[in-house]
Amino acid sequence: MLERYNISNLKTALNRPSLFVWEGHRVLSKPVHLAGNYYFQNKYRKGVDVISRDWDTLVILDACRYDYYMKQRNIEGSLESVVSGGSNSWPYMQHNFNGRTLHDSVYVTANPHARKLNDGVFHAMHTVLDRWDEEIGTVQPQDVVKAALEANESYPNKRLIVHFMQPHRPYIGPTADRLRQRVDLQGYNRNRGTESQTYERTGISMWDAVKTGKVARSELRQAYQESLDIVLEQVSDLIKQIDGRTVITADHGEMLGDRVFWFTNRLYGHPGDIKCPQLRIVPWHIVEGSERRLITTDEPVGDYCLDEELIQDRLQALGYV
């Protein structure tokens, strides 16, 4: 979002005066969004506690909306909606994981926010950010599946939590590939130095590309849908190779140019200060397996995490920093 007023943003707005209208609309919408937050909080209260629910494997899709999931799911099972504990990833992790003793669970995650969790929450935590697709700037879902299967083999008597990055941007699929070729979308070029490697931000964010008319909202939503289709294919493959009851859910949803109310400004991404159905209503899809796993609790064996500098690079590439 063009939230900070600076010379670069001013020059962009002067070339596209409609951005002044958009920014004014955003500021005027703030009190309405605050009232909407209050209404949502009073209606739904706290989000679902995923740990207390019955499952052997919990698959978390990042930024997956319930309405899109309901239309696109290709996996059998019982689907309902639940309220997420947060509008973005870190509040979700705080709500469900942080400060708890989950020594019957192993967490395999492509989400870099996981490094903020307290030590020893899980029996083991494996971040898969080293399996990074540098061309696109994310972890591909098939690599998360490989890591999850490895963890399931290493810890056959543990609950398994598998956190994919899709359909969170940067999107994957043919539409996203075409947009990257047509528009200089935001990315991070690696600068290789003799002592360190850094990433330099380049291009325009997907949200600003839509606001400035370089990408149509229909293209944005098509890219999102294709990312969801691709990750669901991989999730289906994972479920076929593990036993027990699997639940597919999401940490939060995504704003794709939606309005919380018809007269407020369009929103993009998953702003943490907004509480609304598009961000907080997520799927809870139960897929019954042929045989339940025997779950045991054991002392933590240590977490596998990457160094802080590399984590920051991943957060930048995913648009968090």
Domains present along the chain, CATH in parentheses: 7-317 (3.40.720)
Half-sphere exposure of 97 (CA within 13 A, CB side): 29
pLDDT one digit per residue (tens) for the chain, 321 residues: 344 556 655 555 556 555 555 555 465 556 665 666 665 677 776 899 999 999 999 999 999 999 999 999 999 999 999 999 998 999 999 999 999 999 999 999 999 898 889 889 999 999 998 888 888 889 999 999 999 999 999 999 999 999 999 999 999 999 999 999 999 886 544 544 434 455 555 678 888 899 889 999 999 999 999 999 999 999 999 999 999 999 999 999 999 999 887 777 788 988 877 888 899 999 999 999 888 999 999 999 865 555 565 556 665 656 555
Q: Can you read off the two tokens belonging to residue 68?
A: 């899109």
Task: For residue 125, list its beta bridge partners.
Answer: 107
Cα–Cα distance, 62 to 11 (Å, whole number): 34
81 contacts: CB under 8 Å, gap ≥ 6: 66, 281, 282, 283, 284
41-73 burial code (b ≥16 CB/10 A, e <16): eeebeebbebbeeebbbbbbbbbbbbebbeeeb
List the alpha helices (DSSP H) in the chain: 7-15, 18-44, 66-72, 89-96, 141-154, 174-182, 206-211, 217-240, 277-280, 308-317
Report the predicted TM-score, pTM, of the whole model to 2 decimal places. 0.84
